Amino acid sequence: MHTMHKSAATLLGAILLMSGCGGGGGGSDAPPPVALFSGSEVPLSVTQSAAGATAFVAQQLVASSDSADPVVLGNAVPATDDSAEPSDV
């Protein structure tokens, strides 16, 4: 009987140790997913506002590289704003 209690205590201890490991995700540093325009790699914000289009172009300029794959534009049409002042990219 004594060995049964010892085995049960050992098993319980192992279960408690294992349940404390992993899982329970502390927050992740990954950015939330961005909604893309259908059939493209263009964020919806590009098609919804001129500021979104400008931000996307600026992001692409910073991330550009000779070895990077081209961005799939599909049928996405960047938004325009004829009343806004020009902005730097």
| Number of domain units in the chain | 1
Question: Residue 65: what pLDDT?
Answer: 84
**In which band, very low, low, confident or very high, does the pLDDT at 15 lie, cut at 50, 70 and 90?**
low
Q: What is the pLDDT of residues 30-41, one digit of tens each?
A: 878 888 889 999
Q: What is the pLDDT of residue 7?
A: 55
Give the pLDDT of residue 30. Answer: 80
User: Does a structural domain hold residue 44?
Assistant: yes
- 41 vs 18: which has the higher pLDDT: 41
Range of the domain at 55: 35-64+72-80
Query: Quick check: 71 and 60 in contact, CB under 8 A?
Result: yes
Average pLDDT, the chain: 79
Establish if 18 belongs to a structural domain.
no
